[in-house]
């Protein structure tokens, strides 16, 4: 669908609509622009610049971001404020009471590493309905009560094609990983990633992160055993294999855990 769409009563300009949204909700202290370096973020950044609204951009370092993405942000968006967490993803796993990694049903990593920024501010994000089924019910303006922040998603109704058309039309720099076949950029081996092809591509591209996960899982296995928690993995590699794709393992028996079990016991 083109950015300028013919309608019965004229035309619909998606770019202008997004700019109008930014201008209509502009707070006196300016927006807090949540920047990740992905295609939606660079689109949002350019739109904010085009609109003339006041904003400051912030990047939450997760410590498991693709190195190419980190370099891209440093090269093209050096003015973005970088926020490093007190503990890395790997250290955080060792601090959990049940000594478990984040999983789809318990993605505590997002709260710890990504979602705390912008407290008390009006936050701009590049969230779009087309990204996933889970985001199809999101509203253009939302409220996060615990962190006392409002959120505006100016391109929430844009398609993937809209984003890429805008990027090429405006000559917006973007991370080279997209040209190498990576269609989503985020934390390496995100627990919410269920596509086996994408998971394998990440493991092939960044083996140093796989090694870091396995080493951390070795420690988790030891800590669970020392704490008297149920543990059916012999080592970190077995735990990693289960974590990445339990379908590759044998059919669960009484001695094997599944993702649906209460792993805190």
Domain-located, residue 23:
yes
Q: How confident is the model at residue 256 (pLDDT cuts 50, 70, 90)?
A: very low
Quote the number of domains for the chain.
Answer: 1
Which tens digits make up the pLDDT trace of 155-169? 999 999 999 999 999
Q: Which helix (H) or strand (E) holds 57?
A: strand 55-60
Q: Give the neighbor-by-neighbor strand order of the sheet with 31-34.
A: 81-83, 55-60, 31-34, 122-124, 149-152, 141-144
Domain-located, residue 54:
yes
CB of 153 within 8 A of CB of 131? no
Higher-pLDDT residue of 251, 82: 82
**Percent of the chain having pLDDT more than 90?**
70
- The pLDDT mean for the chain works out to 87
Domain-located, residue 116:
yes
Domain-located, residue 143:
yes
Which tens digits make up the pLDDT trace of 7-38? 545 456 999 999 999 999 999 999 999 999 99
Provide the residue range defining the domain that includes 134.
Answer: 4-180
pLDDT for 264? 38
Domain-located, residue 240:
no
Domain-located, residue 30:
yes
CB of 18 within 8 A of CB of 47? yes
The CATH number assigned to the domain holding 22 equals 3.40.50.620
Among 130-134, 239-243, 244-248, name the one with the lowest average pLDDT: 244-248
Domain-located, residue 127:
yes
Domain-located, residue 21:
yes
């Amino acid at each position: 669908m083109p950015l300028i769409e013919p309608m019965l009563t004229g035309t619909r300009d998606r770019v202008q609509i997004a700019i109008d949204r930014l201008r209509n909700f502009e707070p006196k202290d300016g927006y807090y622009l949540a920047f990740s370096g992905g295609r939606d973020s660079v689109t949002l950044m350019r739109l904010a610049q085009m609109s003339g609204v006041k904003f400051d951009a912030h990047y939450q370092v997760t410590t498991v971001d693709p190195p190419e993405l980190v370099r891209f942000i440093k090269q093209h968006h050096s003015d973005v404020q970088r926020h490093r967490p007190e503990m890395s993803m790997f250290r955080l796993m060792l601090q959990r009471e049940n000594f478990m990694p984040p999983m789809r049903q318990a993605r505590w990593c997002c709260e710890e590493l990504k979602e705390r920024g912008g407290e008390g501010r009006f936050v701009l994000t590049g969230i779009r309905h087309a990204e996933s089924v889970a985001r199809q019910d999101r509203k253009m303006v939302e409220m996060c009560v615990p962190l006392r922040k409002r959120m505006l998603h100016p391109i929430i109704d844009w398609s993937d094609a809209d984003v890429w058309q805008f990027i090429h039309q405006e000559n917006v720099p973007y991370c080279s990983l997209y040209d190498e076949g990576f269609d989503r950029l985020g934390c390496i081996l995100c627990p919410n990633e269920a596509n086996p092809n994408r998971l394998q591509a990440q493991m092939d591209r960044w083996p140093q992160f796989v090694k870091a996960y396995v080493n951390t899982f070795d420690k988790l296995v030891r800590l669970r055993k020392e704490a008297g928690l149920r543990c059916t993995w012999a080592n970190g590699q077995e735990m990693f294999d289960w974590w990445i794709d339990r379908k590759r393992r044998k059919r669960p028996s009484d001695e094997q855990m599944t993702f649906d079990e209460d792993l805190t016991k």
